[in-house]
Amino acid sequence: MKVLAINGSARKDGNTAILINTVFEELHKAGIETEMVQLSSTVIEPCKACWACGGRKNCVHKKDMFQEIFEKMTQADGIILGSPVYTANISANMQAFLERASVVTDMNRDADLLKYKAGASVTAARRGGAIAAIDAMNHFFMLQNMFVVGSSYWSMAYGQMPGDVQKDEEGMETMRNLGRNMAYLLKALGERRQ
């Protein structure tokens, strides 16, 4: 089994990556392979609503990483979305990515591209807006017929500067529990498919 994480932070290896890696640690203990894609070095172009993505290969945007990342999503058993809170919501790159992914799945609804996968979201917040960011990412999962993984609290941790989230003990434990819950769900889904 494999879990793909998409980190929508503008900072490579910042707080959002720390949260994702904490979830990954628990997945590794369960023998689940992981990969993180960080959007910090790229720009995901926004959807143009041209509907050319029917058939999944015809998007007017050819110079960003969307298609490569989306293909990895379709191959993964689980998906983690991570974004810091920017203006009480997810990052612009994550928003553009999710909008395009939603249009691709909608234009190819018969293909069930993400159906029955496990999804989890994480966010790093300086102060407020974390619930809105988590909701935005979890709504994407629900639109795709995916299973949303929960934890012992909302999957958020407080921190502004890189590394600050590690001081939020409850937030870090929430991430570890999220990883354990995701591993449990993935194994249950795997057994169900056999």
* Per-residue tokens: 74: 């379709």
Rounded to 5 degrees, what are φ and ψ at 55?
A: 90, -5
**Token code pair at residue 97:** 């990515």
Q: What b-and-e string marks burial along 6-27, b requiring 16 or more CB atoms within 10 Å of the CB?
A: bbbbbeeebbbbbbbbbbbebb
> Quick one: pLDDT band at residue 87, thresholds 50, 70, 90?
very high
Q: What is the pLDDT of residue 58?
A: 66
pTM of the model: 0.95
Would you say residue 56 has pLDDT above 70? no
Count structural domains, the chain. 1
Eight-state DSSP code of residue 59:
-
pLDDT of residue 7: 98
28: Cβ–Cβ under 8 A, 6 or more apart, which residues?
A: 34
Q: Residue 150: give the domain boundaries.
A: 2-193
Nearest to 182 by CA among 11, 18, 6, 28: 28
Tell me: pLDDT of 50 over 90.
no
Average pLDDT for the chain: 94
CATH number at residue 22: 3.40.50.360
